């Protein structure tokens, strides 16, 4: 097993289709969507019993940050449980709006772009040891991240003067830097803001913001496990060949636009390689590391490595369709291709854009994921029963277990409390605070004393 805490922060796009009834602003709809959250937690920023954080972010978009996950398949469960919680909020909001004569439908998108060119993200957090030379780590990781869209790009139809075409990544056109501390002004691929949410002497939190938001569970699995494996390789201090890319932003966009893996990338040392060659190298070192460290006994790692290999083989053969039932880009591509073929229209058709949005929609009855999975067109990795349970069960192996127990106990006792990633707090005077600086701690004497006192 890879000993690493991983979490996903997903920003959801919200839209209201009034369908001929009175229009509502997104702000009004967002407020309605979060009404049950307000009632439950007296705030639009709450931690749930599964240890995740649910909040309404700037610009009226819902966001969920999963709890700290150590087991990759549990991360998939937590991510999907977040979708279930939001879907429940959507149904509840629609009912209450309908009671007031608003007959429209809410839509909630797990994607990264809207019609006005705004972009929002799915940020990945990976816990890494503080001892690593951070600058070197990010430099070595960047070529992997730039080319990773071959594995987990969500696909996107871009409309331009020469017509419409499908690119690999939704995020590629919205990245402006390789590594920096800014997040909105000049969106970097790795955000270096140093907020470990843990013992800062021992840990850092690597904040990756270049990834697309995925619908296919296979894409999320491959995205997070491959990154985690490469970090593990870098943690060994292994000397790696230098793949530093001369212009990472340009390479990211070129690879996305070419969408075939053959994109020539100019390296800082003057060599030219293809995107696929870079990925093949990283797969090799990840595989070697998995063998050497005995990581293949972890079935999630074994599955991800097998899928990684199959995906690169598919690109090598020029046919991503081979992973069309597992990964977003290929699944979406075949869906859109079939639609245009059936209707004799081009990718620029408005209905294709509408279809693409439906691919990302998670509002009940509005999106395609369930339908794709039910027809065997998209492989589901999670067990629906476990996902349902994960709505209020924390992932194993991290302090999320303690956060969850504290939240339940405090709520049952009816006492005022607050939590964040690091802290459990009873707010009544005099306040009692317990810090959980070890993200891997599933037990802690102070936390347990606090919980026991609450349980009486």
Partner 1 sequence: MAQERSQRQHSAWQQSQEHEQEAVGAAKVSRSAGVDDLLDEIDSLLESNAEEFVKGYVQKGGQ
Contacting residues toward partner 1, per CB under 8 A? 11, 13-15, 17, 26, 57-61, 107, 109, 114-116, 118-121, 123, 183-184, 187, 209, 324-325, 334-335, 338-339, 342, 350-351, 353-355, 357-358, 368, 371-372, 375-377
The C-alpha atoms of residue 412 and residue 339 are separated, in whole angstroms, by 52
Catalytic hit among 17, 57, 260, 438: 57
The answer to whether 83 touches 95, Cβ cutoff 8 Å, is: no
Buried b or exposed e, range 355-375, using 16+ CB within 10 angstroms: bbbbbbbbbbebbbbeebbee
Closer of 271 and 338 to partner 1 (Cβ): 338
DSSP track, 204-239 = EEEEE--PPP-SSHHHHHHHHHHHHHHHHHHHTT--
Q: How far is the CB of 315 from partner 1 (least distance, A)?
A: 19
Closer of 360 and 417 to partner 1 (Cβ): 360
Q: How far is the CB of 122 from partner 1 (least distance, A)?
A: 10
* Packing angle of the helix pair 248-258, 275-292 (nearest 10 deg): 100
Q: Is 101 left (phi over 0), alpha (psi -120 to 50) or beta?
A: left
The answer to whether 392 is a known catalytic residue is no
DSSP track, 338-399 = HHHHHHT--TTSHHHHHHHHHHHB-STTT-SHHHHHHTTSS---S-HHHHHHTTSSPPSSST
The C-alpha atoms of residue 358 and residue 374 are separated, in whole angstroms, by 16
Q: How far is the CB of 379 from partner 1 (least distance, A)?
A: 12
Q: How far is the CB of 376 from partner 1 (least distance, A)?
A: 6
* Backbone phi, psi, residue 154, to 5°: -85, -10
Neighbours of 27 (CB within 10 A): 12
DSSP code for 68: P
Which sign does the torsion angle of CA 315, 316, 319, 325 carry? negative
Closer of 352 and 454 to partner 1 (Cβ): 352
Neighbours of 312 (CB within 10 A): 20
The C-alpha atoms of residue 443 and residue 388 are separated, in whole angstroms, by 25
Q: How far is the CB of 398 from partner 1 (least distance, A)?
A: 24
Closer of 89 and 352 to partner 1 (Cβ): 352
Closer of 23 and 431 to partner 1 (Cβ): 23
Which sign does the torsion angle of CA 299, 235, 136, 209 carry? positive
Q: How far is the CB of 85 from partner 1 (least distance, A)?
A: 20
Closer of 234 and 352 to partner 1 (Cβ): 352
Residues with active-site annotation: 57
């Amino acid at each position: 097993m890879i000993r690493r805490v991983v979490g996903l922060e997903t920003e959801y796009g919200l839209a209201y289709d009034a369908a001929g009834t009175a229009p509502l602003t997104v702000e009004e709809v967002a407020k309605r969507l979060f009404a049950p959250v307000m009632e439950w937690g007296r705030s639009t920023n709450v931690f749930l019993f599964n240890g995740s954080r649910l909040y309404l972010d700037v610009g009226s978009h819902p966001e969920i940050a999963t709890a700290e996950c150590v087991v990759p398949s549990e991360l998939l469960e937590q991510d999907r449980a977040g979708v279930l919680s939001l879907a429940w909020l959507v149904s509840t909001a629609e009912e209450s709006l309908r009671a007031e004569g608003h007959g429209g439908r809410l839509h909630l998108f797990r994607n990264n772009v809207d019609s006005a060119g705004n972009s929002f993200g799915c940020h990945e957090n990976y816990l890494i040891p503080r001892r690593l030379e951070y600058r070197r780590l990010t430099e070595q990781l960047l070529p992997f991240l730039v080319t990773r869209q071959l594995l987990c790009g969500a696909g996107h139809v871009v409309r331009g003067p020469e017509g419409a075409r499908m690119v690999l990544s939704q995020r590629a056109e919205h990245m402006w830097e390789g590594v920096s501390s800014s997040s909105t002004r000049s969106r970097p691929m790795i955000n270096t803001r140093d907020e470990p949410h843990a013992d800062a002497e021992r840990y850092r939190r690597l904040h990756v913001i270049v990834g697309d938001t995925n619908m296919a569970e296979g894409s999320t699995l491959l995205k997070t496990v491959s990154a985690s494996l490469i970090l593990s390789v870098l943690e060994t201090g292994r000397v790696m060949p230098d793949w530093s890319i001369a212009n990472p932003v340009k390479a990211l966009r070129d690879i996305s636009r070419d969408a075939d893996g053959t994109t020539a990338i100019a390296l800082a040392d003057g060599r030219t390689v293809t995107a696929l060659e870079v990925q093949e190298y990283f797969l090799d070192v990840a595989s070697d590391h998995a063998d050497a460290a005995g990581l293949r006994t972890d079935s999630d790692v074994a599955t991800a490595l097998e899928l990684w290999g199959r995906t690169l083989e598919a690109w090598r053969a020029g046919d991503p369709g081979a992973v069309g039932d597992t990964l977003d880009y290929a699944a979406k591509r075949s869906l859109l291709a079939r639609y245009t073929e059936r209707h004799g229209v081009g990718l620029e058709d408005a209905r294709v854009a509408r279809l693409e949005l439906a691919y990302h929609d998670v509002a009940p009855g509005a999106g395609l994921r369930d339908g794709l999975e039910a027809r065997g067109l998209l492989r589901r990795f999670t067990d629906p029963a476990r996902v349902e349970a994960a709505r209020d069960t924390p992932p194993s192996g991290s302090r999320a277990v303690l956060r969850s127990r504290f939240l339940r106990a405090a709520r049952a006792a009816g006492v005022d409390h607050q939590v964040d990633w690091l802290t459990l707090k009873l707010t009544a005077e005099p306040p009692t605070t317990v810090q959980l600086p070890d993200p891997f701690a599933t037990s802690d004497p102070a936390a347990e004393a606090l919980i026991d006192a609450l349980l009486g």
